[in-house]
Amino acid sequence: MIGPLPAPDHKQGCSVVATEILTETTHGDIAQMIAGRAERGWDLHLAKRQLITKTGEDLYTVPSCTGRGTYTVRYGSETESCECADYGVHQGRIACKHLTAVALLYASRRQGIVRRLSDEERLSRLEERLRHERMDDEERMELRDEILKLRG
């Protein structure tokens, strides 16, 4: 067996969780990798679903957890993909957190579960997030700008 290869850092609640990808894995390892990405995808969906945008037929832009960029995700067609390093490392055999976040958004919209928030509700949630969530300066400024727009 060849030794571990370094993988991109993953963010969970904006704390770094380093991972290693082995060239040969067992079924248990794969199950853990899938579960970890599903959990991080759920976290991303909850924290930033309002920033996930549909940019074309089956194309979505998903913010990075760090707030330093976005990833293009193809979802809903026969081919699903993401341009992030994690998806590339696994060659699409395991969905990354960005693809999982889009899948959750897509499923909840299809089922009619997500209701439209009023401006007041959205403003309240964003202000609460600004007060309590750890984020870098750039992300904090973007959030403040969004709050100012809602305040009018």
List, for residues 97-135, the tens digit of each pLDDT value: 999 999 988 776 655 544 556 778 778 888 888 887 677
Domain shared by 105 and 147, yes or no: no
- Residue 7's H or E segment, with its range, is none
Domain shared by 97 and 142, yes or no: no
Domain shared by 76 and 147, yes or no: no
Total residue length of the chain: 152
Domain shared by 85 and 59, yes or no: yes
For the chain, what is the domain count? Answer: 2
Domain shared by 106 and 125, yes or no: no
Global confidence as pTM: 0.55
Domain extent for 124: 119-151
**DSSP SS3 for 125:** helix
Domain shared by 34 and 90, yes or no: yes
